[in-house]
Amino acid sequence: GGIITQTPKFLIGQEGQKLTLKCQQNFNHDTMYWYRQDSGKGLRLIYYSITENDLQKGDLSEGYDASREKKSSFSLTVTSAQKNEMAVFLCASSLQGNNQAPLFGEGTRLSVL
Amino acid sequence: GEQVEQRPPHLSVREGDSAVIICTYTDPNSYYFFWYKQEPGAGLQLLMKVFSSTEINEGQGFTVLLNKKDKQLSLNLTAAHPGDSAVYFCAVNPYQGGRALIFGTGTTVSVSP
């Protein structure tokens, strides 16, 4: 079986800092996603990528950059961390096709001091 | 574009009781629907994938109903047990506007002995 690995699991940053989150999958999936999870707001899409070097913006892309360096990895950068920000960032991957269910990693928990 | 509302936000039930979560979507052309379960500190685990062609879908300890006329998707936890305590999310793959799922806001289910 495959796995989606997100690093780090916990990230504490300072206001204004640039922070990078990493995601690796060994399912050989084509599409990868970054979602942000806030309490009471469900999951909101930040970026997704349908193949290596492809990037598609989601509704929440402002304040973030992403990079799909190779098929198995997708990284997300918070360009300037906001004071008191707390959220969970979830990475997912799937095969192409509307009927394919994304599989999720365990998340990176971000706190900004 | 597609929008998804999920209710209730919180649900407390006793062991052995049933629990129902309802999602309402807006696009009548949406065809693929998903239910995920998130346990504390974990990522999202796929419970069921539902296609528009099937109205009743049974899983282990739960039933998913799709009412296309009212554009509603429901998850019924039958005879809930403490292991069902988690946050549940519905998700819709939109007919138009990209290839990423749109999630409901989640329902926190607590099952007490």
- Judge: B49–A101 Cβ closer than 8 Å, yes or no: yes
Q: Is B99 a residue whose pLDDT tops 80? A: no
Do residues B9 and B108 touch, judged by C-beta distance below 8 A?
Answer: yes
Residue A42 CA neighbour count, 13 Å, CB half: 25
Residue A97's contacts (CB-CB under 8 Å, 6 or more residues apart) are none
Do residues B34 and A101 touch, judged by C-beta distance below 8 A?
Answer: yes
Q: What is the pLDDT of residue B3?
A: 87
Of A41, A42, A106, the CB nearest to B43: A106
Q: What is the DSSP letter of A67?
A: E
Q: Is A105 a residue whose pLDDT tops 70? A: yes
**Interface list for chain A against chain B, based on CB atoms closer than 8 Å:** 4, 31, 33, 35, 40-45, 48, 50, 56, 58, 90, 92, 96, 98-99, 101-107
Residue B34, min C-alpha distance to chain A (Å): 7
Distance, in Å, from the CA atom of B20 to the CA atom of B1, rounded to the nearest integer, reads 26
Distance, in Å, from the CA atom of A83 to the CA atom of A113, rounded to the nearest integer, reads 6
- Judge: A105–B43 Cβ closer than 8 Å, yes or no: yes
Residue A96's contacts (CB-CB under 8 Å, 6 or more residues apart) are A30, A31, A50, B99
Q: In chain B, which residue's Cα lies nearest the Cα of A38? A: B105
Residue A46's contacts (CB-CB under 8 Å, 6 or more residues apart) are A34, A35, A36, A58, A60, A61, A64, A66, A76, A89
The percentage of chain A sitting over the pLDDT mark of 90, rounded to a whole number, equals 81
Tokens of B16: 């052995």
> What are the angstrom distances between the C-alpha of A73 and each of A3, A48, A55, A68?
12, 12, 13, 6
Q: What is the pLDDT of residue B59?
A: 81
- Collapsed DSSP state (helix, strand, coil) of residue B70: coil
- Judge: A98–B31 Cβ closer than 8 Å, yes or no: yes
Q: What is the pLDDT of residues A13-60, one digit of tens each?
A: 999 999 999 999 999 999 999 999 998 778 999 999 999 999 999 989
Q: Is B95 a residue whose pLDDT tops 80? A: no
Average pLDDT over residues A54-78: 96
Q: Is B97 a residue whose pLDDT tops 60? A: no
Q: What is the pLDDT of residue B83?
A: 92
- Collapsed DSSP state (helix, strand, coil) of residue A6: strand
Name which residue leads in pLDDT, B8 or A83: B8
Let me know if A94 is exposed, middle or buried by CB neighbors in 10 A (0-12, 13-18, 19+): buried
Q: In chain B, which residue's Cα lies nearest the Cα of A40? A: B105
Q: What is the pLDDT of residues B14-73, one digit of tens each?
A: 999 999 999 999 988 888 899 999 998 888 999 998 887 677 778 888 999 999 899 999
Do residues B46 and A92 touch, judged by C-beta distance below 8 A?
Answer: no
Distance, in Å, from the CA atom of A37 to the CA atom of B91, rounded to the nearest integer, reads 14
Residue B42, min C-alpha distance to chain A (Å): 5
Residue B1's contacts (CB-CB under 8 Å, 6 or more residues apart) are B27, B94, B96, B97, B102
